Structure 1
């Protein structure tokens, strides 16, 4: 049995949905199908989820939301008409959205989650109807019916263990099961969404729950690449990754997977394959538990921008009991999470995403550090990019760090920070954002050319 998840670009319009139908039709083992909301049809287009969020915010602020509602309905209407499906499906979608807006039992937060979820929910109904129209036995399955039970954390739901026994029962159902991604239900029956990109999470949860032989994640790329194609022309494709490697890559800027998505599949050791909806016969990238010992150590180079480094220096810091805890407590008090914290004897750096660090929070943190910890130096450096060289076996392979630092030197890029040792599968560097492209090109040349 296979579980297949189709991303937003795979269901962006009727043409793409027909491709999805062909993929499902050619393999009878594809039992459970998870879908996202319609994504962009071109680079200038919009994602339906973004429009639904705008609609929800307009409703919350008591301003007109007719424009957003019309965009959503028109998009689904176009898909339904081109697929020659009954108009009653569109009426059902309209009633679902209006039902959320007029439901007085929903709090504002619950309404926003329910509105966001209508993108995936509507597309699942459309795909199920289309599969039936081409001769396949297909059934729409709501996440509540599927048994996806989650915590009551709007916009950040976590799956509850009891769900997996429920989901396993899906194996007993007849036909192809089309399940909307991105949301589940609390034990009290409230609709709650996962974090953004959560359809990947649903796919992984269902694959783990039914104990699938394979979880296929269909997107718009042939495979995972060794480096972002925006920076290197025609980079090599990765044919095989381990779970740990993919987790590191997805965290550090690879947009193929939501960084939480693999965890359920990892826990059940379900193999994963990333494939292209537009080229489904290509092998794609396989993600497995362990790699062969003779395989290449470094598999990819990931990067992301938008970081700041909080640098604190104090003589004999290492002898001051509780210094690090107090510093991190100050950051926590401002409701700011940190990404990394490399340290020395008298120095400590805390890497923070700039999106979490407002001017007010930055000033509060710096002032409290000065007043409470009496450091010699406290500064914040902005506009940093993080680069991660990823591969199982890094810790046991001689010369990786030397090769990487030589590549930075050849590109005339200054390394702001190095962090090795906290992860067995990655070596992290911090550089100025403006140096990112040169650094990546040089690293790619060193490791893959």
Structure 2
């Protein structure tokens, strides 16, 4: 059995955390490929190493005027790593690595290079600690000259490199362009690296270790002690991630999904807990009708009303073209016989609202047009909803009982999710009401 294991920044913030990670890896022979992040915060007031590197590089850009601050910050970063090395009793020196970093920072080689050093250095320490081979991600993770990830070429190079490599540490978050310059994924991109490696080695499991025991049914900042999600499908996760649930980087799903490799979200600080298993599909019956609830605030809606709209060929296309021409993406579009409502991100829409209004008037000559802001969208997601009658009715009843006015409800044909639009000030109350009716109330 082969497992790829990725550890987040909080899991590798100190020597003590490194030891926990070492115990987890050594407990199972199958954990053969390790993807480390840069050291995260040791305490709530601490600074992540990636942020320290960004700041240090900023001083390097300023040149001689900031020479002292640059040297002090670089030394502070070096000490963070040395404290881990000392705590692990390793015979390892990063002096040469830091000489190279100092030189490259002085050459103003780029912010991506600066940020990537956090994972690079942690990878060296991790490989030394475990006795695994260290493989620089710049040698195996490929971006094109425009900075776009090249999945096919990466898979070819990485598969060949790991074919005869029994155990390896590959730093997350970065790769290289054809000219050798470093390119990073977006923040949290180590999740993506782990997924890419899992695909390359045809792993049986991709374990993603972090500081939480998997996904929760709802945001713990809104729901007190929400229940965990034992098993979730890729499609359900995609819906929840899109609406704001953030434990795993969205783009980390796709490489393993193509291969049917399950992802297991685990807690470094509670390794005995099973966490959440993410799968292509499952026969396992969910504990509750819903799998999860997530949502976002700060939406606006544009309602267009016109008599006989439904008989006017091309009406919707003309309206949508106005938004396209103004480069505004659309979230949802519920409609009636003579009305259609379009939900958009408020900050994206506000700058161009008058251009959009004028464009709609020119395009379709509506009888009435109304704007509303301070709206929130909530996604109620669950494969269990397909086989359960009255789900929408229970949602409406719960929201009515909580005195929440529903502005919009939209159910996809897959019956996997129901989107509810409410006022932003009703956001927390709505999530509490839905959680209560499906999780706390036994029918």
Taking structure 1 as the reference length, the TM-score comes to 0.86
1:202: which partner in 2?
Answer: 193
1:134: which partner in 2?
Answer: none
Larger mean CA deviation between 327-336 and 385-394 belongs to 327-336
1:138: which partner in 2?
Answer: 132
Where does the alignment leave 5 or more consecutive residues of structure 1 unmatched?
A: 132-136
Is 1:324 the counterpart of 2:323? The answer is no
Q: Which has the larger radius of gyration?
A: 2
1:229: which partner in 2?
Answer: 220
1:8: which partner in 2?
Answer: 9
With over 3 angstroms needed to count, the CA separation of the structure-2 counterparts of 1:407 and 1:212, relative to structure 1, is: same
Q: Which of 271, 281, 297 matches 1:290?
A: 281
- Is contact 1:152–1:192 with CA below 8 Å preserved after alignment? no
2:46: which partner in 1?
Answer: 45
Query: 1:79-108 CA deviation, whole Å, 9 max, x = no partner?
Result: 3343344563154145236415515xx5xx
With over 3 angstroms needed to count, the CA separation of the structure-2 counterparts of 1:325 and 1:45, relative to structure 1, is: farther
- Tell me, what secondary structure is at the counterpart of 2:406? coil
Shift of residue 152 of structure 1? 4.3
- Tell me, what secondary structure is at the counterpart of 2:383? coil
- Is contact 1:208–1:268 with CA below 8 Å preserved after alignment? yes
1:388: which partner in 2?
Answer: 379
Is 1:119 the counterpart of 2:97? The answer is no
- Tell me, what secondary structure is at the counterpart of 1:262? helix
- Is contact 1:308–1:380 with CA below 8 Å preserved after alignment? no
With over 3 angstroms needed to count, the CA separation of the structure-2 counterparts of 1:33 and 1:331, relative to structure 1, is: same
Shift of residue 70 of structure 1? 5.3
Taking structure 2 as the reference length, the TM-score comes to 0.88
1:246: which partner in 2?
Answer: 237
- Taking only aligned residues, the RMSD between alpha carbons, in angstroms, comes to 2.8
User: How many residue pairs get matched?
Assistant: 434
Is 1:149 the counterpart of 2:149? The answer is no
2:423: which partner in 1?
Answer: 432
1:263: which partner in 2?
Answer: 254
- Tell me, what secondary structure is at the counterpart of 2:232? strand
Larger mean CA deviation between 86-95 and 280-289 belongs to 86-95
- Tell me, what secondary structure is at the counterpart of 1:189? coil
- For 1:330 and 1:72, the matched residues in 2 are separated by 50
- For 2:82 and 2:344, the matched residues in 1 are separated by 43
- Is contact 1:384–1:432 with CA below 8 Å preserved after alignment? yes
Where does the alignment leave 5 or more consecutive residues of structure 2 unmatched?
A: none
1:33: which partner in 2?
Answer: 34
Query: 1:285-326 CA deviation, whole Å, 9 max, x = no partner?
Result: 112222216444634333233331231313044444444344
With over 3 angstroms needed to count, the CA separation of the structure-2 counterparts of 1:298 and 1:171, relative to structure 1, is: farther
Is 1:351 the counterpart of 2:332? The answer is no
With over 3 angstroms needed to count, the CA separation of the structure-2 counterparts of 1:294 and 1:78, relative to structure 1, is: closer
Alignment of structure 1 residues 338-417 onto 2, 5 Å: 338-357=330-349, 359-417=350-408
Larger mean CA deviation between 363-372 and 35-44 belongs to 363-372
